[in-house]
Homo-oligomer: A and B are copies of this chain.
Amino acid sequence: MERTREPVSAGTDHISPADPLPFGRRGIDISSLQDIRPAAEALRDMARDLSNFRVAVSANIASKLPVTDAQGNALAQSVFGWPSSKDQWWKKPLLALSSPLIFVCRYESEPFWANARAIHTRAPNPLLSQIDLSHFRESVNAESFIVVPVHLPFGQIGAISYSPIEPGREDLSREFALYADILEYHGRRFINGYSRVTSQRPWIARNCRLSKREVECLRWAALGKTDAEIATILGRSCATVRFHIHNAATKLEAVNRSQTVFKATQLGYLGSVAAISSTPAQPHG
């Protein structure tokens, strides 16, 4: 696994103690399925050496498929050391869709740490107050976690967590301060690589470019407005709104509005629609 490139003067060769990274000076590259297992082993060793952390990985929080090596072995048991009798927290039916940590990964793109009492992000995030931690202990299989959400292209969200192997460590604020950056770096590299070699890339229309008007109409559609409503908002006719949305659909090679909105969202055309000028704040219930 030693890289053939020249040594890097700016990289991770600063790591103390005693350079515990067994995979060189930067995140390990996963270029093929065969690279997965060695990369996972290196990641496991790094986390354990750094602070006796056990690693758990979800390449896609929307999927219950486990991360596996080239032979299909689940890395949770075969590399990361999760006991078979204690399933990964995202392997349980519905837990994949209900664990509070998963919710945080939807809302946050930076590392955070959590235990049964609270979720700690780098900066306050009011959305997190909505998250119900009352069933934390049943939802997860460690007492505390540092989690790195990884937002990938096409709306995919991955996550990697680091939790103490030994029992009783619930306060990770010091480890978070010391290690969040490095854990983020290596976790991102792993998930990026894993996702790249295992995913079929969604097919995207060739070199499409949506016009300003098309995007504008599509944004309102994505917010649930009907053609008539959009027409009123923009001071245009209903037919014109349809025209623009149809154009956008054609460019994105989508057959209907749902697919058009889906693809446009995946490509970041509609992201953070709160940024639309004169958009009213979203109503609160």
Q: Mark A1-45, 1 if CB is under 8 A from B, else 0.
A: 000011011111111110000000011010100000000000000
In this assembly, does A81 line the interface, its C-beta being within 8 Å of a C-beta of chain B?
A: no
Of A70-78, A146-154, A161-169, A231-239, the one contacting chain B is A146-154
CA distance A8 to B174 in the complex (A): 10
Instruction: Indicate if the CB atoms of A223 and B262 lie closer than 8 Å.
Output: yes
In this assembly, does A138 line the interface, its C-beta being within 8 Å of a C-beta of chain B?
A: no
Output the nearest chain B residue to A174 by Cβ-Cβ distance.
B6
Output the nearest chain B residue to A106 by Cβ-Cβ distance.
B267
Chain A: residues with Cβ within 8 Å of the partner, total of: 104
CA distance A284 to B205 in the complex (A): 9
Instruction: Indicate if the CB atoms of A268 and B97 lie closer than 8 Å.
Output: no
* A15: B residues at CB distance < 8 A: 10, 14
Instruction: Indicate if the CB atoms of A29 and B215 lie closer than 8 Å.
Output: no
CA distance A197 to B103 in the complex (A): 21
Tell me, rounded to whole Å, the shortest Cβ–Cβ distance linking A92 to chain B: 12
Instruction: Indicate if the CB atoms of A60 and B127 lie closer than 8 Å.
Output: no
Q: Mark A40-56, 1 if CB is under 8 A from B, else 0.
A: 00000000001000000
Known: A62-B215, A274-B201. Contact between A155 and B257, CB under 8 A? no
Which of B14, B155, B223, B281 is within 8 Å of A265, CB to CB? B155
In this assembly, does A118 line the interface, its C-beta being within 8 Å of a C-beta of chain B?
A: no
Instruction: Indicate if the CB atoms of B207 and A273 lie closer than 8 Å.
Output: no
Tell me, rounded to whole Å, the shortest Cβ–Cβ distance linking A242 to chain B: 13
Instruction: Indicate if the CB atoms of A152 and B109 lie closer than 8 Å.
Output: yes
In this assembly, does A172 line the interface, its C-beta being within 8 Å of a C-beta of chain B?
A: no
Instruction: Indicate if the CB atoms of B131 and A207 lie closer than 8 Å.
Output: yes
* A110: B residues at CB distance < 8 A: 192
Output the nearest chain B residue to A31 by Cβ-Cβ distance.
B123
In this assembly, does A250 line the interface, its C-beta being within 8 Å of a C-beta of chain B?
A: no
What would be 18 A-B contacts, judged by CB atoms less than 8 Å apart? A9-B16, A9-B17, A62-B215, A97-B209, A98-B209, A109-B150, A109-B152, A149-B153, A156-B272, A157-B268, A201-B274, A202-B273, A203-B281, A224-B255, A224-B256, A253-B285, A258-B258, A265-B266
Tell me the A residues contacting B by CB distance below 8 Å.
Answer: 5-6, 8-17, 26-27, 29, 31, 50, 60-63, 65, 93-94, 97-98, 103, 105-110, 122-123, 125-127, 130-132, 149-157, 177-179, 181-182, 185, 192-193, 195-196, 199-207, 209-212, 215, 221-224, 226, 253-259, 261-262, 265-275, 281-285
Given contact pairs A125-B201, A195-B272, A222-B258, enumerate 14 new A-B contacts (beta carbons under 8 Å). A8-B177, A10-B182, A13-B14, A14-B14, A62-B271, A109-B150, A130-B206, A151-B153, A154-B271, A156-B268, A202-B274, A203-B281, A203-B284, A221-B258
